[in-house]
Chain A
Amino acid sequence: MRPDRRTVCDLLAEYGGLIDAGKFDEWLGLFSAECRYQVMPRENFDRGLPAALIFCDSRAVLEDRIRALREANKYNIHTDRHLIGLPRIFDDGVIEAPFAVYQTDQEGETRLFATGLYRDRLQVEGSGLKIGDKLILLDTFAVPSLLSTPL
């Protein structure tokens, strides 16, 4: 399957927009019923080391993380802004897109929080395209302050 460019761009725009709006349940809806989500420091990826910063090897773990964010975790008060670049689209349903996330604090100060590459495996599910496996290769692996809301 080679996903249609326009559909991929729509999905990526939704992906960033929903996180930036704090709509995490709708964001979860972009993933397949069975899915994986990982944030992997480039330092580990380049050395073939398996440990991730966020390792959700099932939808259950991803949902637990969002629930923890809402019910338990405390973190820097901020808003996110995702800038997602043009995707490369491959034949087997795999896409790659560069991203940058800026964080802005309560006093309006913005800093570059993270940049890296999304490597997603997309699959057709129901009427649309869903994310089956998302690997976030994090270039900014010296994480500024802490990583709370999803990249």
Chain B
Amino acid sequence: MTMVTAAIWPTLDYSRVPYRLYHDADVYMREQEQIFRGPVWSFLGLDCEIPNPGDFRAGYVGDTPIVFNRDKAGAVKTFVNRCAHRGALVRREISGNADQHICIYHQWCYGLDGGLQAIPFHRGVRGKGGLDASFDMRVHGLRPLRMGNINGALFGTLAEDAEPLEDYLGTPIVAQLRRLLDRPMRVLGYNRQRIRGNWKLYAENTRDNYHASLLHEFLVTFGLDRSTQVGGVKMDARHRHNITWAEAESDTDEFARQAYASARVRNDFLSLKEPALVTFHPERDDKLNIAITSVFPSAVFVQISNSLAVRQIRPRGVDEVEIFQTMLGYEDDSSEMTLHRLRQANLVGPAGLVSMEDGEAIEIAHRASRRDLDRTTVIELGGGGVISDRDYRVTDVPLRGFWSYYAELMGIEPDSAVR
């Protein structure tokens, strides 16, 4: 067993990441404690998924099972989904409506506030058995999470000392979430993907602007998105989160053709039989047709053209991650717009025309980096040194931002780190 320390970083600007961090089971356990159960805010779900009192959904913070519900007063409450008695899942269904949460094992019964309400045979039978009179039900409720809400996006944290949610997200991220969630939302559906790779490979992938039009050739081949468009990356002050953005119709075919001459990507810009797949209908007073907002550690709010979604990165051990994606529209969408979003849902998810490649890229990165754990990746697109926003797209600087905050939480930040 190797205890990972600050000495693991060969460079101070996080431009070299040792493979060990993707493969070490002890690192994974430490991440669960110090990151996911540490001072971060995790995206849980959406207010609109639990509209009525008693509505609940089960999910995860890291690999800790949680359940969030709406109580009788209309407030959203979240708890660790684990019975105080013997550690069993209390709520087994993924979603539903209930007055109480009852563990099937011994029928310990919890209210919508997470409080322990009833225990069968509390006083035993015929005066024998049961719990001592000193047993205090009040201290055996389900462990609560602190909650935060940005325009209906629900976040939770297990850390009592976590900073307020809006401070954690920072101004640009809050603004981007308020932009995307500027009207009441409607869930169009869910999709899930199990990738045989470490969760951080996916977290990096969503911050990697460089790969987009090279790996996802559909983007360029069918003219949806190109690195020649006006765009860039924008981070919070601490560089833990990132917005990858681009503006529609901000380059020309000719300029793009010249730029892509050095890449092995088709640059003859084929057309689709159904152009609606890539047609962008602007929905507000800006030109953004790509806005991918990664929130440390495990949420991604996605606008790709008119396809809207939020993804949760759910670690399932050191070698596997589930991407759980909620497809979204607005409550006031016309039926034509809903149809358009359902069509553009073809672009994203495990079968997405511009996303299926990520599953393969992450698996081949995970597979080949298993050996030589002290060797490293090379993250230098957009240069090394100070981590900062860029107004161009051929960059992977936000990956270094991710690692700089990762190192801080894991307690492996080197002295005089460049961040």
Contact = CB atoms under 8 A, between A and B. Distances in A.
Interface of A: 39, 41, 43-44, 47, 49-58, 60-61, 63-65, 67-68, 71-76, 141-148
B322 interface: yes
Nearest to A141: B192
A51 B193 contact: no
Interface stretch (B10-18, B244-252, B280-288, B343-351): B343-351
B29 interface: no
9 contacts: A49-B189, A50-B188, A52-B342, A57-B339, A61-B277, A65-B353, A75-B359, A142-B194, A146-B193
A41 to B, nearest CB: 6
Contacts of A53: 191, 349-351
B397 to A, nearest CB: 25
Interface string B244-275: 00000000000000000000001000101110
B363 interface: yes
Interface string B328-341: 00000000001100
B221 A65 contact: no
Given A41-B190, A72-B217, A72-B218, A51 B356 contact: no
A51 B350 CA distance: 13
A47 B97 CA distance: 13
B342 A51 contact: yes
Query: Which 8 pairs across A and B sit closest by C-beta, in order of nearness?
Result: A51-B189, A146-B359, A60-B273, A147-B351, A143-B350, A44-B189, A49-B189, A51-B188
Given A50-B342, A76-B363, A44 B190 contact: yes
Nearest to B218: A72
Given A50-B189, A74-B215, 19 more contacts: A41-B191, A41-B192, A43-B189, A50-B188, A52-B189, A52-B342, A53-B351, A56-B346, A58-B274, A67-B273, A68-B222, A72-B217, A72-B218, A73-B353, A141-B192, A142-B192, A145-B350, A146-B358, A147-B350
A58 B343 CA distance: 10
A56 B358 CA distance: 22
A146 B360 CA distance: 7
A16 B171 CA distance: 52
B266 A71 contact: yes
Contacts of A74: 215, 217, 357, 360
A74 B327 CA distance: 23
A42 to B, nearest CB: 11
Contacts of B20: none
A131 B351 CA distance: 22
Contacts of B215: 74
B17 to A, nearest CB: 23
B239 interface: no
A72 to B, nearest CB: 4
Contacts of A51: 188-191, 327, 342, 345
A55 B272 CA distance: 15
Given A49-B187, A148-B351, A142 B193 contact: yes
B189 A65 contact: no
A8 to B, nearest CB: 27
B interface: dominant SS: mixed
B93 to A, nearest CB: 11
A63 to B, nearest CB: 5
Contacts of A50: 188-189, 338, 342
Interface residues of B, number: 41
B191 A141 contact: yes
A73 B350 CA distance: 12
A64 B276 CA distance: 11
A145 B363 contact: yes
Contacts of A61: 273-274, 277, 343, 346
B312 to A, nearest CB: 13
B196 interface: yes
A146 B351 contact: yes
Given A58-B274, A63-B273, A71-B221, A145 B188 contact: no
A60 B189 contact: no
B322 A142 contact: yes
Contacts of B195: 145-146
A33 to B, nearest CB: 13
B297 to A, nearest CB: 21
Contacts of A148: 351, 356
Given A51-B342, A64-B274, A75 B360 contact: yes
B194 to A, nearest CB: 5
A101 to B, nearest CB: 13
Interface string B172-199: 0000000000000001111111111000
A71 B350 contact: no
Contacts of A41: 189-192
Nearest to B190: A43
Nearest to B345: A51
A72 B352 CA distance: 12
A12 B350 CA distance: 25
A43 B93 CA distance: 12
Contacts of A75: 356-357, 359-360
Contacts of B357: 73-75, 146
